[in-house]
Amino acid sequence: MESQKPTGTLSFLRSVIGACVLCACGVALYYLSETIGISTNTVWHSVIQQVASVFLATGILSIAWEFFAKRDFADEILEKAGISRELESSKLVQLTDEYLVAVNWNELFSATRSLDIFFAYGASWRISRRAELESFLAKDGSRLRVILPDPIAKKTIKELAGRFGYTPVKLKRYIKESTEFFLGLTPGRGSQVEVHYTKITPLASMYRFADFGVMTFYNHGKGRGSVPTFVFKRGGLLFSYLDKNFHSLVDDSARPTRLFKTHEGKR
């Protein structure tokens, strides 16, 4: 996700190196104007010294900006805009309302060997991401863990069916189709697919990759529509929230899931 733009450290180094080059050019021009006889030509002597002054001033100001003023300016902008430090600490890298096309799913899949998913059934997502899922599972040692609403949990199915405007029978069919889809994928050597059922009702779709997380909210109105989607890095409060939720869903013995089936690739 970070390949589209240089990181803060790389950008800082580029700026400092560029500023140092400008300063060096300025010094070199001063030296040139004073040592090879250009000083005898008043016009060229004046021109070269002015250019040297511009290079030196620009280089020095650039260094001062990178080391001292830039961070203060950024802090002031954040403060004036009302953006809190909590937003920065969330490690949010993208916010969109077009989760199927705007999120770079291919990059997320290529950089991980583990993926946990929790959603209602995810028909649109899983169909559009089939190629990435197959490539992901072809990597040795990959693990895909999918958590779906338990079709035999009547309260959960009733709540979700009412939210989506479906009958319970229709929702169960969609969950069954999702289960068959994931178990129908072919894992590579040492890879595996797990499908779990839970009585917990999903309030958002959650995807936990090795170093990134994605959360997509549901539309509670009638019909389909755009929904906010957050993409964020490991190490922030959003990824911590995701970790806690998956721990509660799968690892917490007080709220166990029902492991429906595991499909392992040949070793």
Q: What is the pLDDT of residue 250?
A: 79
> Does position 139 have pLDDT exceeding 60, yes or no?
yes
Domain spans, the chain: 8-83, 92-264
- How far, in Å, CA of 27 to CA of 182, rounded? 65
Which one-letter DSSP state was computed for residue 120? S
**What pLDDT sits at residue 125?**
96
Average pLDDT over residues 42-53: 71
Nearest to 195, CA basis, from 123, 116, 265, 103: 116
| Residue 42 confidence (pLDDT) above 60 | yes
Q: What is the pLDDT of residue 136?
A: 95
* pLDDT, tens digit, 9 for 90 and up, residues 146-201: 999 999 999 999 999 998 889 999 999 999 999 999 999 999 888 999 999 999 99
Q: Hey, what amino acid is at 37? A: G
pLDDT in the model for residue 227? 86
- Does residue 230 register a pLDDT over 70? yes
Measured CA to CA, the distance from residue 33 to residue 2 in angstroms comes to 45
Secondary structure of the chain: what % helix, strand, coil (to 5)?
50, 20, 30
Residues facing residue 231 across a β-bridge: 94, 214
Span 92-264 CATH architecture: 2-Layer Sandwich (3.30)
- Name the average pLDDT for the chain: 82
Write down the pLDDT at residue 3. Answer: 46
The better pLDDT of the pair 111, 75 is held by 111
Looking at the predicted structure, is the pLDDT value of residue 79 above 70? no
Do 233 and 226 touch, CB atoms closer than 8 A? no
> For the whole model, what pTM was predicted?
0.68
Residue 86: pLDDT band with limits 50, 70, 90 = confident
